[in-house]
Structure formats: C-alpha cells, structure tokens
Amino acid sequence: MSTLLGSFIGTKKNILLLLILAVLLALFFIPAFLSKYSVYLLTVVLFTSLLATSLNISLGYGGMLPLHQTVFFGVGAYAAALLLNKSPLLPLLSFLAAPLVSAGVALIIGAICVRLRGLYFGMMTLAIGQLVWAIVYRWYEFTGGDDGIHGIAVPDVLHSISAAYYISLIVVSACLLIIYIILNSPFGIALQAVRDNPQRCESIGINIHRHQLIAFVLSGFFSGVAGVLFVILERSVSPSLLFWSESAELLIMVLLGGMFTFMGPAFGATVIIVLEVFLGVITEYWLLVLGTVLVLIILFLPQGVIGFVQEKISAGTAVERKGADRFASG
C-alpha cells in the first residue's frame, strides 16, 4: 500500500516538474512570436512576480505585515543607478552590489521594527519607508530629487527589450528557486512555525526575532534584485518607485494569489498587471472594475486563487488516498 501511495505522490511531483519545465520553455521561446510591447509587458510581469514573492517571505511565511515593501525595490533601483553612473565599479559588480544595499536598509529597518507585532509593525515600516522616500525626493544633489535619474549607463548589450527580458527570465527563475529552497529548508519550516505560534516557538528555544529579521532581510534583498531588473529595462528611476501606494498594490497582488502559497504572489502580480493594461484601454474607470473584482475575490476566496486551487487538490488527494486504503484493506 505504501508503495502505491509513494508512486502516486511521485507521479504528481513529476507532473508538476514537467509543467514547470514546459512553462520555462514557453517563456524562453514566446518572445519570437510577440510584439516588442508584449515582451516589455512580460518583463514587467517577471520582476514584479519576484517583488511580490519577496514580500511574501515576510508576509505569508514570516507572519509580519510590511506596509512599505517597495522601499527596498526603490533602494535597489537607485543603488544600481547611482553605482552605474557615479562609481568606478564594473556594471556586473554594480548589479550585484545594489541588492546588498537593499538588504542593508532592510536590516536597519527590521532591527527597529521586528519586535513589534501586527499593525504596529506595519505602521512603523510604513513610516520609515516614507522617510526614505522623502530623503530620495528632496536630495537633489545625490538622487536627482523629484526629477529622478535618467540615462542610466546600462551596458549596451542590455539595451534591447529582448535582452532585458531574457536576463530577467534567468535571474527571476534563479531567485524563485533559491527562495523556494530557503522556505522549504529547516529555517523556512521554523519561520512558518514562528508565524503560526510564536509563543510555543519561543518556549522551545527558537529565537523568533532573529528568524523574522533574517526573513525581512532576505525579503529586502530579493526586492533589490527586482529593482536592478527594473533599471535594466527602463534605464531610469524616480521617487515614485518608493512611494507607499506602490506597496499597497503589491499587497493586493499577494492577497489575490494567496499569501500562504509559493506561486500565489506571482499569479497575483500577473493578473493585476494584465488587468491594469487591458482595463485601462477599455475604460477610464478601470480602477473601479479592478477594485470590485478584488473585493469579490477577498470575500469569497480569502485564501487567494492559488490557495483555493491547492485546497481543492489536497481534498481530492485525501479522497483518493482513502479510496486506495479501502481498496487495499478490502
């Protein structure tokens, strides 16, 4: 009986692996059949998916409520822009250093906020994030102020939209794999335990603040990676990248897909971006339509779309296992 169940579960894992490989192959070849604008849109979907997933490290897996996640995205983008334009570093080193700057900012903010809980944590991250935005917005000599930075010295080989797309595909795929491995490691399992029952975790010796701080820093690092990919695509940055409203939209993406799932944030990011583009063409009231759809999903699918699908699949698997057990016992 155990052999039968093992082969059944193994088959499902193989199907999932084949599905992921098929999606990657499709993403690799599909630009040849799309317009430049469509490839541009796909690139935005890719790094926004990484940004939403990075938020979910803190939110869905860490049990924290960061209300200003895009500050790390903006810091990563500005760090890449400033390093490329004003430092003697090679472009590759600038791209590698920028996420570390985001991680450093996340470490500082996390050290201040991580001992707070719930809404207090969220409001503190929002306040500090807006402070960072104000500094970027007003520091004309260094950040360009409200004008931002334009004409960023991205290497010529990355100037085409296709090049930006493929580098985004490779980097985002690698980052998602790394995040998946981290979240399924002993650290990731402990982090989820801290989310579910911090008092019990503390009683058995797990340092809950350290686990959450590490998760927060990791979240900031991968958000910075997304910021670098934004710079490669746009070759310009502006203070709006760090404004709080961008974080609110990111939070909606995570809730839409399902914050307790790994692929939910990426799904939510894809849906929101596509809806924004196409609804914006159809009607000037696209925000009203989008808001209505989101309210309905939150009311009737509180676990998110991917969470709902996983719940149904798990229920079906449980039924199949019971049937197999009865068959074996009979």
In a domain, 268, yes or no: yes
In a domain, 282, yes or no: yes
pLDDT at 10 over 70: no
CATH number of the CATH domain containing 141:
1.10.3470
State the Cα–Cα distance between residues 300 and 276, nearest whole angstrom: 22
pTM for this entry: 0.89
pLDDT at 9 over 50: no
State the Cα–Cα distance between residues 70 and 220, nearest whole angstrom: 9
Domain that holds residue 210: 30-329
In a domain, 150, yes or no: yes
> Who has greater pLDDT, 307 or 3?
307
State the total domains in the chain: 1
Outline where the chain has alpha helix (H). 2-29, 36-56, 70-86, 91-113, 118-138, 140-143, 161-183, 186-196, 198-203, 208-234, 244-257, 264-282, 286-300, 305-329
pLDDT tens-digit series, residues 54-67: 999 999 999 999 99
Burial of 305 per CB tally in 10 Å (0-12, 13-18, 19+): middle
Residues 6 or more apart from 101 whose CB is under 8 A from it?
Answer: 75, 76, 79, 224
pLDDT tens-digit series, residues 110-123: 999 998 988 899 99
Mean pLDDT of all residues in 18-26 = 82
In a domain, 24, yes or no: no
pLDDT at 292 over 90: no
Burial of 37 per CB tally in 10 Å (0-12, 13-18, 19+): exposed
In a domain, 51, yes or no: yes
Residues 6 or more apart from 295 whose CB is under 8 A from it?
Answer: none
pLDDT of residue 289: 76
Q: Return the minimum-mean-pLDDT range out of 9-23, 49-63, 158-172, 249-263.
A: 9-23
pLDDT of residue 117: 87
Tokens 């007003």, residue? 138
> Who has greater pLDDT, 309 or 330?
309
In a domain, 2, yes or no: no
In a domain, 306, yes or no: yes
pLDDT at 322 over 70: no
Do 112 and 64 meet the contact criterion of CB atoms below 8 Å apart? no
Among candidate residues 199, 301, 201, 212, the one with its CA nearest the CA of residue 259: 301
State the Cα–Cα distance between residues 49 and 73, nearest whole angstrom: 12
pLDDT tens-digit series, residues 177-192: 999 999 999 999 999 9
In a domain, 252, yes or no: yes
